[in-house]
Amino acid sequence: MPSPLFDTATPLAPLRAELDAAIARVVDSGKYILGPEVSAFEREFAGYCGARHAIGVANGTEALTIALRSLGVGPGDEVVVPSFTFYASAEAIPPTGARPVFCDVDRETFCVTPDTVRAALTPRTKAVIVVHLFGNVAPVAEIEALGVPVIEDAAQAAGSTARDGRPGALGTLASFSFFPSKNLGCFGDGGAITTRDDELADRIRMLRFHGSWDKVTYEHVGYNSRLDELQAAILRVQLPHLDTWADGRRAAAQHYEDAGLGELVELPRPVAGARPAWHLYVVRSERADELAAALRAAGHGYKAYYRTPVHLQPAMREYAGDADLPATTEVARTHLAIPISPVLTAELAAEVVSAAREAGLAVAY
C-alpha cells in the first residue's frame, strides 16, 4: 500500500466533532482577536512546555523576529543560525537589522552543537537561534553556557522531550509554528513564543500589538502579529493529544528500525537524552536519488527538504561570506525524508523498507 510523506488527516478524524464545536463556539462568541481562546491556549501551552509564558503570534517566522526584538537585537548585531534548516530560521533575522552568521550542524543529529556554534561567535553575537530540526532536540543548555542567549526554533519539535525538559523551556526564548503540517498544527497560520522571563514576555506582548503597552500610546515600531481565536480554539482541542501523537511518531521510527532500514541507509540519531517526536523522518544515503526513485516507483512519499542550504540561497548571499560548513554541505546532498506520521504502522514501514531494499541500497558511510 502506498504511504504518504505525512498524514495529518487520520489523527484528526476522531476529533472532528470536537473541532466543529470549538469553531462554532468562536463564531458564536463574536470575539475573534485576542480573546478568551487565545488566553486559555497560551496558559495551556505554557503549562505543556513547562514555560512560565506562551504568547500567541501570527506564525513561526514572526515568532523568531519578535523574540529577537524582545532581546534588543538590532543593527550592528550578529545572530548565529544553522544553514541546514528551513529558510525562515534565518529570514527572521534581517528584519531586526542584525546579520545572520551561519554555523554548521552535526551530520548525524542534523542539529547545531556547542562546537559548531562556538566557531561562529564574535564579539558582535547577540543571540543564537538553535533549531530543533526534524523534531530532534539540540543541546540548548550547553550552548547557552557559551554565554549568549539562545532562542530555540522549536517549529518542528512540539511533542519532543530532552533530558532537562521540553522544547520551549530549555533556552531564554523559544518559537513555535502551528503551520498545518507541524506536529501541533492549526487550520491556517499560527505561532507562539515561550519564555520563563516575565519581562521578555511583557515586551513580546507589546511588540505583537504594534509596539504599544496600553493600545493607546505607540512607543515602538512593532508588529500586527497575533494568533487568532479560531486557531487557538482548534489548537486547544489538539494539545491534549500531542503526547500520544509523539509516541506514535517514535513508534513509527522504531518500526523502520525493526524492519532493518538501518542496514540500507543512515538513520537519524537522537541528540543525547532527547526523545524526538520525529516531525520528519530523514535518512542519509550517498544514493539518495536512487532511494527517491525506488520510493516513487512503489508509490511512497519522499522529499529532499533542504538540498540548497540557506547560506547558498540567493537572498542570503550578502550574509554568507566564505562560510565553510562541511557537514551542512554533506547532509544537504544526502538527506531524504521518508513517510512519517503518528499513525504509520509496522506494515507500512516494512513496505517502505522493502522498496528501499529492492533498490539495492546499503549503508555506505
Ligand X SMILES: Cc1ncc(COP(=O)(O)O)c(C=O)c1O
Q: Which residues bind ligand X (CB under 6 A)?
A: 59-61, 85-86, 88-89, 131, 153, 155-156, 177, 179, 189, 191
Nearer to ligand X among residue 213 and residue 305 (C-beta): 305
Of the candidates 16, 18, 17, 48, the one whose C-alpha atom is nearest the C-alpha of residue 277 is: 48
Q: How far is the CB of 157 from ligand X (least distance, A)?
A: 9
Nearer to ligand X among residue 81 and residue 352 (C-beta): 81
Q: Which amino acid is at 156?
A: Q
Of the candidates 236, 235, 294, the one whose C-alpha atom is nearest the C-alpha of residue 264 is: 294
Residues 6 or more apart whose CB falls under 8 angstroms from that of 99 comprise 77, 78, 79, 93, 319
Nearer to ligand X among residue 57 and residue 253 (C-beta): 57
- For 191, the 3-state DSSP assignment is strand
List Cα–Cα distances, 297 to 288, 355, 358, in angstroms: 14, 8, 11
How would you classify the pairing of strands 191-195 and 173-177? antiparallel
Q: How far is the CB of 88 from ligand X (least distance, A)?
A: 4
Q: How far is the CB of 193 from ligand X (least distance, A)?
A: 12
Nearer to ligand X among residue 61 and residue 83 (C-beta): 61
Q: How far is the CB of 59 from ligand X (least distance, A)?
A: 4
DSSP string, 103-136: E---TTT-S--HHHHHTT--TTEEEEEEE-GGG-
216's grid cell: 493607546
- For 29, the 3-state DSSP assignment is helix
Q: How far apart are CA 263 and CA 285, in angstroms?
A: 11
Q: Which amino acid is at 136?
A: N
Nearer to ligand X among residue 133 and residue 349 (C-beta): 133
351's grid cell: 513496505
Q: How far apart are CA 8 and CA 259, in angstroms?
A: 24
Nearer to ligand X among residue 139 and residue 191 (C-beta): 191
Residue the block writes with cell 502579529:
225
Q: How far is the CB of 207 from ligand X (least distance, A)?
A: 16
Nearer to ligand X among residue 259 and residue 319 (C-beta): 319
282's grid cell: 530523514
Contact predicate 73/101, CB 8 Å = no
Of the candidates 101, 98, 91, the one whose C-alpha atom is nearest the C-alpha of residue 75 is: 98
Q: How far is the CB of 345 from ligand X (least distance, A)?
A: 26
The partner residues of 79 in beta bridges, in order of sequence, read 100, 127
Nearer to ligand X among residue 65 and residue 356 (C-beta): 65
Q: How far is the CB of 175 from ligand X (least distance, A)?
A: 7
Q: How far is the CB of 282 from ligand X (least distance, A)?
A: 12
Nearer to ligand X among residue 6 and residue 86 (C-beta): 86
List Cα–Cα distances, 108 to 142, 153, 337, in angstroms: 18, 19, 14
Q: Which amino acid is at 162?
A: A
Determine the residue with CB nearest ligand X: 60
Q: How far is the CB of 171 from ligand X (least distance, A)?
A: 15
Q: How far is the CB of 113 from ligand X (least distance, A)?
A: 17
Nearer to ligand X among residue 86 and residue 319 (C-beta): 86
